[in-house]
Chains A and B, each alone.
Chain A
Amino acid sequence: MTHAEVKNINVWYDTIHALKDVSLKFEPNTVTALIGPSGCGKSTFLRMFNRMNDLIPSFRMDGTVMVNDQDVYSKEIRIDEIRKNVGMVFQKPNPFPKSIFENVAYGLRVNGSNNKAFIEERVERSLRQSALWDEVKDVLKKSALELSGGQQQRLCIARALAVEPKLILMDEPAASLDPISTARIEDLIFELKKTYTIILVTHNLQQAGRISDLTAFFYMGELIEYNMTKKIFLNPDNIQTQNYITGRFG
């Protein structure tokens, strides 16, 4: 059971107040969709969990981010330890220009594993979990760049799964894919939530409606509404949420 929670998060980039006093608790084994217009802070919010925002020099924050009772921003914690526990899938598939096998093994290798049997077993399991194994099992040595876009994205998911994260962050994982590949990714997300807790940023409201259990609506750095997806889409409490869902702005 994975618990992820943020309390009173504020984020600034220089003088821009990107997240305003956001508190949110995630349920284990669910998919939570973060929606909202561009620049509303949802991607910033997503990147709080694996401290990817630390790479931006002007980033400042206060508040707490907890993943499994671990304070992600505590001074004692090692950043690679956090990122091992929190997998991330990006908008554009970004496989390394290495073989399919080495892509999945990468996270294990950089975290110090070099037991061959262990790595092979993990690679196979991760590729099975990401529904890619049957397509690539005979060509594991082939360059990952030769795969199609949809396959590359599933490879990136396998790569994230290989280090056994507790929480998986997805930043518009299907935004650059065709409808068929998108459907496969959505099926996969549905499967993965049995084992993992997933937070998903998406611009595609239908997608949020199809695959998420809970939805959080962000606007201008504030969390406007957080509720069951059905409730948000059918009968939101907040007028701004309603306007966004019905396409009146955004």
Chain B
Amino acid sequence: MMSFVVVAILVIILGFIAIRGIGVISWEFLTTAPKEGMTKGGIFPAIVGTGCLVIGSMVFAFPVGILSGIYIHEYLSENWLKKFLRMMTNNLAGVPSIVFGLFGMALFVNYLKFGDSILAGSLTLGILALPVVIRLTEEALKAVPDGLRLGSYALGASKIQTIQKVVLPVAFPNILTGLILSIGRVSGETAPILFTVAAYFLPRLPESISDQVMALPYHLYVLATSGTNMEETRPMAYGTALVLVSIVLIINLSASLLRRQIHKKTKMH
């Protein structure tokens, strides 16, 4: 019963955004910069910016998160350190995103003097994504049957060989699903980029990682709260919301499709 309520709420929200937003979606909307006080034109720089941030954050979060997950699951025995690391990872996942934003500003923007930049924003988003990546990597490794590890050891393989040649190939599809989900999370975040990278209005595209960019979630916030002409920016806001929600939905859907595909394949035996 409650799950129907959840579904209903989701449908209402999506439907509302889709109906209000679909009118402004056009090729021009997706491929040009905003014009005339953001009442005309499109959101292309924000799409590109969000793309840059997603890629940047993943370049940081994937290797660090996957390696941490492997270390926690494969190398640590059940002791206080493992419990401590797990607990800290869970805590990190529960930290409000605005705290990540302020932390990113303090560390990357000010202390390390990256300034408001793709670099600072990507690292901040990367840290936000880390606990998700670590947890899902751990889950994926846990799903690998121990019999396979033993079989590999019994043939004289070392731990590293076993992880590289047996454990990771088996866990890879599930890890990949986790990575895609974390991309979905990162692409919709506003607070972490607020003070680290996002530009209020910047129609030109970024040229290096030390540039600021516009990003979809923040652009939406700007359109909804601080336009000079609220009546005329409102449709643009709905359009932006629709694009953002669609991107996140597509990412999450592809993750669950991938998961289903994998389950079909591994059910063979």
Contact = CB atoms under 8 A, between A and B. Distances in A.
Interface of A: 50, 52, 55, 57, 80-81, 83-84, 87-88, 90, 92, 94-98, 106-107, 109-111, 143, 145-146, 152, 156, 159-160, 163
Contacts of A90: 147, 150-151, 154
B154 A88 contact: yes
23 contacts: A52-B154, A55-B153, A80-B158, A83-B154, A83-B155, A84-B155, A88-B154, A90-B151, A92-B147, A94-B145, A95-B151, A96-B148, A96-B166, A97-B148, A107-B155, A110-B156, A110-B157, A110-B158, A110-B161, A110-B165, A145-B266, A159-B155, A163-B156
A112 to B, nearest CB: 10
Nearest to B268: A145
A106 B147 CA distance: 15
Chain B interface residue count: which class? 20 to 34
A152 B154 CA distance: 17
Nearest to B147: A94
Contacts of A55: 150, 153
A52 B150 contact: yes
A80 B154 CA distance: 8
Contacts, number: 72
Contacts of A152: 269
A106 to B, nearest CB: 6
The 3 closest A-B pairs by CB, nearest first: A94-B147, A107-B155, A88-B154
Contacts of A87: 154-155
A55 B151 CA distance: 13
Contacts of A98: 169
Contacts of A163: 155-156
A13 B169 CA distance: 33
B170 interface: yes
A31 to B, nearest CB: 19
A24 B150 CA distance: 25
Contacts of B78: 57
Contacts of A52: 150, 153-154
| Residue of A97, A159, A160, A163 ringed by the most chain B CB atoms within 10 A | A97
B77 interface: yes
B151 A156 contact: yes
B152 interface: yes
Contacts of A146: 268-269
B199 to A, nearest CB: 47
Contact of A50 (B147, B154, B165, B266): B154
